[in-house]
Amino acid sequence: MIDTLEKLVKAFGPSSKEFEVKKVIKDLVKNIDCETDEDKFGNLVLHFKAGGPKIMLAAHLDSIGIIVTDIDKNGLLHFSQIGGLRTSFLLGSRILFENGIEGTVFYEDRDALWEPKEFKIEKFFIDIGAKSKKEALEKVNIGSFGVFYPIFSESFDRIIAPSLDDRVGCAILVEVAKNLKKKNLKFDTFLVFTVQEEVGVKGARTSTFEITPEYGIAVDVTTAGDYTEPKINAIELGKGPAIKVMDGGMITNIDLRERLIKMAKKESILYQLEVITGGTTDAFAMQITKDGVKTAAVSVPTRYVHTQGEVIDKNDIKNIAVLLKQFLEKETF
């Protein structure tokens, strides 16, 4: 699964440009016994036909990114955000454009660099080494997309990389797909790799409307608060899957949540409960589609979300894959 994750992290795929990520996943699942389809909005759907109620598991393909809004006379690129960039962490970041051009992020206001109070997105720029606007336009244009340069590192039991939100969720679903035994499935199962989550959970809205599942589980990241004192929340790396209770957009279905907890206990999987007040996931869109879907979420504890160096624990992602496989094969309603 770690090799799979590295391939996914290194695939270019900000919101609306998830094509390379889908290509990697299609290649990884090409020998799996399931129906593979891509809907009109661009979501990739793996369908494991079986008896029982419909269940949809969703992980999003897209990452946050930048879009070029202007190029000045010196060839410096001004930009806006695709998804929720954390401006306080942008300074010095490396950016990769779709055509392979690289750049570094800096800030116009030199005084603010010494006494930062609030970094404003409109004052950042990207230097790609161009000497003039004309030279820069030979490589990038207004509307060009970029992402954090995808450096993937393993250190101890941890992984450090950008775009783990939510390539790690995609890697988990690929792992689940590879290991499912159709004859054991208790659900008519849909594994959905959604698009444009970072700009309004859009892919989950359209795919859930089409599939109309009875149950839904989103697989995404959540902020681990274990690197500060006092901690900002109770989530820690290496302490197992974070089974969501509430986030900034939803409260999960009590019955489905309790069943996931019961399955974790049954399989001796260490788990933790997630209660956060900001952000949300595809679960939010799934829950309120049509007449409603009983929805839960399982999250990967992650430090420094939406930065160049997100950090996760290998054991957490392995345990989430096991939990979801066991749930699909053993849970009965």
Residue-level length of the chain: 333
What pLDDT does 262 receive? 98
pLDDT number for residue 115:
66
The 10s digit of each residue's pLDDT in 223-267 is 999 988 778 889 999 999 999 999 999 999 999 999 999 999 999
> Is 118 considered catalytic here?
no
By the 8 A CB rule, do 241 and 326 touch?
Answer: no
Half-sphere exposure of 293 toward its Cβ, with a 13 Å CA cutoff? 31
pLDDT for residue 173: 98
Q: Is the pLDDT of residue 28 over 90?
A: yes
pLDDT at 116 over 70: no
| 157, pLDDT greater than 70 | yes
Tell me the C-alpha distance between 254 and 252, whole Å: 6
DSSP letters for 228-276:
SSS-SSS--TTS--EEEEE-SS-B--HHHHHHHHHHHHHTT---EEEE-
User: Whole-model pTM?
Assistant: 0.96
Q: For the segment 175-234, what is each residue's pLDDT rounded down to a tens digit?
A: 999 999 989 999 999 999 999 999 999 999 999 999 999 999 999 999 999 988 778 889
Q: Is the pLDDT of residue 105 over 80?
A: yes
Relative orientation angle of helices 2-9 and 164-179, to the nearest 10 degrees: 140
Q: What is the pLDDT of residue 323?
A: 98
Query: Is 140's pLDDT higher than 70?
Result: yes
Average pLDDT, the chain: 96
Q: What is the mean pLDDT of residues 126-137?
A: 98
pLDDT at 24: 98
Residue 78: predicted pLDDT: 98
Strand order in the sheet with 310-313: 153-155, 158-161, 310-313
Position 114 scores a pLDDT of 67
CA 235 to each of CA 19, 318, 326: distance values in angstroms, whole numbers, following the listed order: 32, 17, 23
The two three-digit tokens of residue 189, written as one number: 């199962």
pLDDT for residue 109: 81
Identify the active-site residue in 6, 18, 175, 197.
197
Domains of the chain in sequence order: 2-63+162-330 (3.40.630.10), 65-148 (2.40.30.40)
User: Using 50, 70 and 90 to split pLDDT, how confident is the model at 308?
Assistant: very high
- Residue 91: pLDDT above 70? yes
> What confidence score (pLDDT) does residue 137 get?
98
- Tens of pLDDT, residues 39-85: 999 999 999 999 999 999 999 999 999 999 999 999 999 999 999 99
Lookup result for tokens 């950008």: 162
pLDDT band at 110; cut points 50, 70, 90: confident
